[in-house]
A and B are shown apart, each in its own frame.
Chain A
């Protein structure tokens, strides 16, 4: 059973470009969470999705950021018109479908650098 997969692992974008980050949850997981981690800081919640639904996006900036988790394929975090302040590690986590299960398992992260 493969773990949570994220790609790319490293992404370099110039200011103004778009960044697309992908996350494939563990098999049997349909809950996906995205977090942002700045250097030397903690994990900041961004968005929680289930298949085809955004459940909670309270941590995501209102502009330039969007997330989706389609019926087929990975979850995508999209950042439009990137700025230097978007440089960070972006982690996704997934949790099982069974009721009452809260554990979240993290992917390896995507390190975004905006030049």
Chain B
């Protein structure tokens, strides 16, 4: 089955800096790659997603890139703010299955 690895597990940045989180997947048939943000004690919230026929997608300060050949995808957050502090999960979907990375705890220091 699909295996998703996510790095780093923790990330601390200064407010205003950029943050990058990387994920790799194993199944070349995976065709959908969402990113979720989970604040403490709350549900995961979909923040951005990308499909396998697209290489990059941007939504304001958030962007995701996909390299199908290398089977990795990344989340980029620019001009980070303290409210960006949360755990971020990547995921990859193949057929009916969605597999999640272990998460990255992002801390943005004011």
- B-binding residues in A (CB < 8 A): 33, 35, 41-45, 48, 55-56, 58, 91, 102-109
Contact (Cβ within 8 A) A109 B43: yes
A35 to B28, CA, bound (A): 23
Q: Which residues of A contact B6 (CB under 8 A)?
A: 42
Apart from A33-B98, A103-B46, list 16 A-B contacts with CB within 8 A. Answer: A35-B100, A41-B102, A41-B103, A42-B89, A42-B101, A43-B89, A45-B97, A45-B98, A56-B96, A56-B97, A91-B44, A102-B32, A102-B34, A102-B49, A102-B51, A104-B98
Interface of A is mostly: strand
Among A35, A42, A45, A55, point to the contact of B103 (Cβ < 8 A). A42
**How many angstroms from the CA of A33 to the CA of B1 in the assembled complex?**
17
Q: Are A108 and B43 in contact (CB under 8 A)?
A: yes
CB atoms of A48 and B97 under 8 A apart: yes
